[in-house]
Structure 1
Amino acid sequence: MGLPMLKKLQLYIQLTRLNKPIGILLLLWPTLWGLWFAAQGMPPLKELSVFILGTVLMRSAGCAMNDYADRDFDKHVERTAARPLTSGHISGKEAIGVALVLTFFAGMLALTLNAVSIKLAFVAAFLAGSYPLFKRFFAIPQAYLGIAFGFGIPMAFAAIRGELPALAWWLLLANVFWTIAYDTEYAMVDKIDDLKIGIKTSAITFGSYDVLAVVCCYAAFIGLMAWVGVSQGLSLPYFVGLIIASIIAIYHYGLIKNRERGACFKAFLHNNWLGCAVFSGTVLAFIK
């Protein structure tokens, strides 16, 4: 493989953020919650593998589409100005091509699931593809992102049970609040730039109440997950996981309360451990 090809591969990796897996993890944790709740324990290996690989593919495709949609905005934002598409190192056609190829393979994976899951896969693809547009007009696009990032939950129930019980939607709602919390922290990093270019984010919409909004969303997320645990009769480890998640959320408050860019970004990245804590408690609670 020649040097030009290696360089192009590196640019595609940057385009799809495979070099920055935090987005994959934030998408994966709620999907894994859904799988474990749906199966009431360890899900079948086939479904587990399909959902993990599908998460990686769809998140990568979403990044490519997001960069294409934001190509004229990213150049005005300090954090995103050097992205491959914005900086001109790859073309818009290449970005769309990468997104379509990744979506195709994700679709092939979805076809190995049952009919209900396949139908929901089309909804998931629409959510992922349309999210970048919501930043143009929707006051809190992070809520829409929460639905897109959490749609693996109802898909997991469809794949495991062939139905969509109320539990799936409660878990999805909880994930929406978690997503608003961590993506508002993320938006706080770019708030000054976003105000200049006219992008809508929750950090701008909440204004001086942005920190309070993040705290309230964390509280709503923990509260809903606790209610789910009680309603399902889960054992102590699940609630220990939620307590650890609550402590992590309090730590995040300490990071973002002064609205410093670096600290807000650190809080955003640290949400991986919050999701991991909830998942760990869920796994332990379902061990017979």
Structure 2
Amino acid sequence: MTSTTRPDLSDIHLGDWVDRRLPRPWRPYTRLARLDRPVGIWLTLFPCWAALVQASHGFPDLRQLVVFSLGALLMRSAGSTVNDIADRKFDGHVERTRFRPLASGQIDTPRAFAFLAVQLALAASLLLLLTPFTRLVAICVLPLVFIYPLCKRFTHWPQAVLGAAFNWGMLMAWAEVAGHIPAGAVLMWAGAIAWQIGYDTVYAYVDVKDDTRLGLKSTAILFGRHGKICIGLFYAMTAGAWSLGGWLLGMSWPYAIGMLVIGAHLAWQTWRIDLARPEVNFRLFLANVVSGALLAAAALAGTW
């Protein structure tokens, strides 16, 4: 059983700005860090910014904003590198990933590990600018970062592990700004995990045929034809957790309006899901950048 090539579903777009503008030696590292696919960066940044705003109860300190933004960028890039290293033998057999640098032979594994070491070293250097408590919280996420790429081999819930790691910056933001992590902040983080399970399952439906053939696991494979209902339930949990979390954190009434808008947007996404059309699901995955932006905007409005 083989896949039919559909270039529109590949996450590497040959001939893009990376190929046109960057020196050839830089290109595989740029793609390894996903700098050519910034959607994941935005999906990491917006929840982190929302937490910084809520913890600061207004505009966060500029230094903290810069440090956390760089940290989110570096850790997302490092996580992508770890993922590609772990999946290098599978990616070449999956339509969406077969042009990735390791899978296509543009870079070898030792160089990828060296690049990962540089990414982690840069991320670690940012910890020197944070409080000891925040550093401790940051270190606790490392097992999740390294376990995630292996999860699809033994559990149908790799999206949950990814969501916990991807949104860890929300907990760090509270640790840095407030010196503690209140229950409302934990609920906001739990809502972000449910949100990521939802949108990453939408994404996983793009690969479901290839993953099944390779013996890999995902929530998309677990949910099967019930995926639309299950994704809708996780999106409902997202809106509920963010609403309750915001209330516990003392957000003002404009925040509730933001939650209604987010709920409507997630409901629209759920309605549009078509399990038989990967190209539609891929576009809906990308639409979650809007969800993240709405969350950050709601958090800011809730401090008025």
Q: Report TM bin, short chain.
A: over 0.9
Find the counterpart in structure 2 of residue 10 from structure 1.
Answer: 27
Q: How many residues align?
A: 284
Find the counterpart in structure 2 of residue 65 from structure 1.
Answer: 82
User: Runs of 5+ in structure 2 lacking a partner?
Assistant: 1-19
Cα distance, 1:236 vs structure 2 = 2.7
Match 2:204 to one of 176, 187, 197: 187
Deviations 1:131-164 (A, max 9, x none): 1011111221111111101111111111111112
1:218 and 2:235 matched: yes
Asked whether the 8 Å contact 1:238–1:278 carries over to 2, the reply is no
Find the counterpart in structure 2 of residue 83 from structure 1.
Answer: 100
Q: Which runs of 4+ in 1 moved over 6 A?
A: none
TM-score by length of 1: 0.95
**Which structure 2 residues correspond to residues 31-46 of structure 1 after superposition, within 5 A?**
31-46=48-63
Find the counterpart in structure 1 of residue 116 from structure 2.
Answer: 99
Which amino acid in structure 2 is aligned with residue 149 of structure 1?
Answer: F
SS at match of 2:297: helix
Asked whether the 8 Å contact 2:185–2:245 carries over to 1, the reply is no
State, as a whole percentage, how many aligned pairs show the same letter. Answer: 37
Find the counterpart in structure 1 of residue 262 from structure 2.
Answer: 245
**Which structure 2 residues correspond to residues 112-131 of structure 1 after superposition, within 5 A?**
112-131=129-148
Cα distance, 1:76 vs structure 2 = 0.9
TM-score by length of 2: 0.90
Distance change in 2, residues 1:73/1:113 (3 Å): same
Which amino acid in structure 2 is aligned with residue 190 of structure 1?
Answer: D
User: What is the rounded CA distance, in whole Å, between the counterparts of 2:243 and 2:182 in structure 1?
Assistant: 18
Q: What's the RMSD between the two structures over aligned residues?
A: 1.5
User: Runs of 5+ in structure 1 lacking a partner?
Assistant: none
Cα distance, 1:258 vs structure 2 = 4.2
SS at match of 2:104: coil
User: What is the rounded CA distance, in whole Å, between the counterparts of 1:116 and 1:11 in structure 2?
Assistant: 36
Cα distance, 1:208 vs structure 2 = 1.7
The structure where helix makes up a greater share of residues is 1
Deviations 1:196-235 (A, max 9, x none): 0011100011122111111000000001111123333422
